[in-house]
């Protein structure tokens, strides 16, 4: 069963793993390998990179494609890099992999596949400026689109987003994040895969399950809005966490239907997210 976690849990787990088990550059390489193995890449590949570690996964992917004689071009939102991202970008330059800096003239018409590595799971707000423009260009391209870890512009906790990359495939890294499964996510994610890259999980998690027919004392809601209205919830950070809190306070199991592609059940001891 797949584990589902919050962005903060992912951040802590990532840091713990790097501090105790796996070098950060090796972990980034593992992520790139996971993305490479998740799809049968053919033709000419555009890899669109932001400035964080999500971009680094794209640089590793480009190196792996180069080894297989598959053409790729890096498109940089701007020439800014994380430390590990810079390491793999320099490796790409050593291999003479071409790159371009994105601007208003950026065009993806010559490419067969676009890989989205612009924003990671920690992104909040609305994509603006050149990043927002490039997201629009990706969505208007009619190309096969693969998003790395999360669709750029989508909130990794809540699954809400205003300007978001629409993907044919999203390759989650490490563990599924809640925002990949609820609220607006279904509008943007075609298929979803998760790649285990040996990150040591620190903290609570939810579990994808096949059914929850044996659960007792279940209070059902048709959607998330009806749940928040019932308990007078106005503000929240993560939908699953607020449901968990209410379930514990009231000693009940809560089932919310029609929440994106999934419903979820929360009990006082077990937190489960179930595919409908």
Q: Output the DSSP codes for 224-271.
A: HHHHHHHTT----S-HHHHHHHHHHHHT-EEEEEEETTEEEEE-SS-E
Q: Are 85 and 44 in contact (CB under 8 A)?
A: no
Between helix 83-94 and helix 24-37 the angle, nearest 10°, is 60
Does 123 show up as a binding residue in the annotation? yes
Is 260 annotated in a binding site? The answer is no
261 marked as binding residue: no
Report the distance separating Cα 275 and Cα 152, nearest Å: 23
Whether the CB-CB separation of 41 and 58 falls below 8 Å is answered with no
State the Cα–Cα distance between residues 170 and 173, nearest whole angstrom: 10
Tell me the residue length of the chain.
276
Cα–Cα distance for residue pair 128/144, rounded to 1 Å:
23
Is 126 one of the annotated binding-site residues? yes
Q: Is 12 annotated as a binding residue?
A: no
Q: Is 54 annotated as a binding residue?
A: yes
Q: Is 116 annotated to bind ligand?
A: yes
122 is in an annotated binding site: yes
Phi, psi of 30 (to 5 degrees): -60, -40
Q: Which residues of 93-114 are buried (b: 16+ CB within 10 A; e: fewer)?
A: eeeebebeebeeebebeebebb
The label of the residue with tokens 């106005």 reads 234
Q: Shortest CA distance to 9 belongs to which of 197, 162, 201?
A: 201
Q: Enter the tokens of residue 100.
A: 């371009």
Residues forming the annotated binding site for (6S)-NADPHX? 120-126, 149
Residues of each annotated binding site for K(+): 54, 116, 152
Q: Residues annotated in the binding site, as ranges?
A: 54, 116, 120-126, 149, 152
């Amino acid at each position: 069963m797949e584990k589902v976690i919050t962005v903060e849990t992912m951040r802590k787990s990532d840091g713990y793993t790097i501090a105790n088990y796996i070098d950060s550059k090796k972990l980034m390489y593992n992520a790139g390998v996971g993305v490479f193995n998740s799809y049968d890449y053919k033709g000419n590949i555009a890899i669109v990179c932001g400035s964080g570690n999500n971009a680094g996964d794209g640089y590793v992917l480009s190196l792996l494609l180069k080894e297989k004689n598959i053409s790729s071009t890096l498109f940089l939102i701007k020439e800014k890099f994380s430390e590990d991202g810079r390491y793999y970008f320099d490796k790409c330059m050593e291999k003479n992999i071409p790159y371009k800096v994105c601007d208003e003239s950026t065009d993806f018409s010559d490419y067969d596949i676009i890989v989205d590595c612009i924003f990671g799971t920690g992104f909040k707000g609305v994509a603006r400026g050149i990043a927002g423009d490039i997201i629009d260009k990706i969505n208007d391209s009619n190309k096969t689109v693969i998003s790395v870890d999360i669709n750029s512009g989508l909130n990794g906790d809540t699954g809400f987003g205003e300007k978001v990359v629409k993907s044919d495939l999203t390759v989650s890294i490490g563990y599924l994040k809640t925002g990949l499964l609820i609220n607006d996510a279904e509008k943007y994610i075609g298929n979803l895969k998760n790649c285990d890259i040996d990150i040591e999980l620190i903290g609570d998690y939810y579990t994808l399950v096949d059914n929850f027919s044996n659960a007792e004392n279940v209070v059902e809601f048709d959607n998330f809005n009806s749940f928040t209205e019932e308990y007078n919830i106005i503000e929240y950070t993560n939908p699953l966490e607020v449901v968990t809190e209410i379930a514990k306070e009231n000693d009940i199991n809560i089932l919310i239907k029609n929440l994106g592609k999934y419903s979820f059940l929360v009990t006082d001891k077990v937190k489960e997210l179930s595919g409908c």
